[in-house]
Structure 1
Amino acid sequence: MADVFISHRGDDSKDAEALANALRALGHRVWLDEWRIDVGDSLVRAIDEGLAHYRCLVLCLSASGVHAPWMSREWMSALARQLNGEDVKLLPARLTGGELPAILADIKYADLVADWDGAVAALDRALG
């Protein structure tokens, strides 16, 4: 099973947590900010540790976009590591709508809006 970092907008926390629970139920180890960052923790340190130790990043596409400051840093970090030859998977998932950033336009995404169960199954296969 895979170690999965869930990158999402704050507005989509409820849906992101549902996805995290679905992936965890399939046996994956999931990093979700709501589960990993406690009051008093350093946000930067917690996110940096999550990104460093989790080899798969699920980028949750949002009707509000994917360019929130924290979210942008997360997926851009994963993309940079991938382009530098590290074994990092970047898996887009259409969580509440939205489109892929232009630099990721060639990557097939899981469409949770159109078919939740089918998209979770597709993510599970991709996580291998």
Structure 2
Amino acid sequence: MTNVFISYRQIDTEPAEKLALEVASAGHQVWFAEWKIDVGDSIVERINEGLEGLSYLVLCYSSSGMSPWVNREWMSVLAQQLSGHGVKLLPVLLTGGKPPAILADIKYADLIKDWSKGVSDLLRAIK
């Protein structure tokens, strides 16, 4: 079972949750904010717990751009990946947008063009 963190903007909660459900249905352990952060919880503490020990961070590109929260999440995982830790950043074109310049060379799963194929491509990358 793989630990997969879904990183997304709040405005994209609906399609991000649809994606999270599909990844979970494939047998992976999924960290999704709406499922893991309850009223009264420390948001920072819960996100930090989700980022510890993960295998994959699914970075959802948004037509609304990147939020400061999403930036913190993917940047911390990229730093771990570049330091040789066993974590991988998996970009997904969820609602639009474009990758940050430093991630422009990384192939992404395109859920806009073809949702089923994009999910299949993503699941194939999660080993």
TM-score (normalised: structure 1): 0.97
Structure 2: distance between partners of 1:48 and 1:61: 21
Structure 1 residue ranges, 4+ long, deviating more than 6 angstroms after superposition:
none
Structure 1: distance between partners of 2:49 and 2:63: 28
The reply to whether residue 8 of structure 1 matches residue 11 of structure 2 is: no
Structure 2: distance between partners of 1:52 and 1:33: 14
Structure 1: distance between partners of 2:79 and 2:89: 10
Q: For residue 108 of structure 1, what is the aligned residue in structure 2?
A: 107
Amino acid of the residue matched to residue 63 of structure 1? Answer: S
Q: Which runs of 5+ in 1 are unaligned?
A: none
Q: For residue 88 of structure 1, what is the aligned residue in structure 2?
A: 87
Deviations 1:42-83 (A, max 9, x none): 1111000100121100000000112x1111000000001111
State the identity as a percent.
Answer: 58
Q: For residue 120 of structure 1, what is the aligned residue in structure 2?
A: 119
Deviations 1:78-128 (A, max 9, x none): 001111111111000000001010000010000000010001111111001
The reply to whether residue 39 of structure 1 matches residue 39 of structure 2 is: yes
Question: What's the offset of the Cα at 1:3?
Answer: 1.0
Structure 2: distance between partners of 1:2 and 1:107: 21
Amino acid of the residue matched to residue 83 of structure 1? Answer: L
Structure 2: distance between partners of 1:126 and 1:117: 14
How many residue pairs were aligned? 127
Amino acid of the residue matched to residue 71 of structure 1? Answer: V
Amino acid of the residue matched to residue 8 of structure 1? Answer: Y
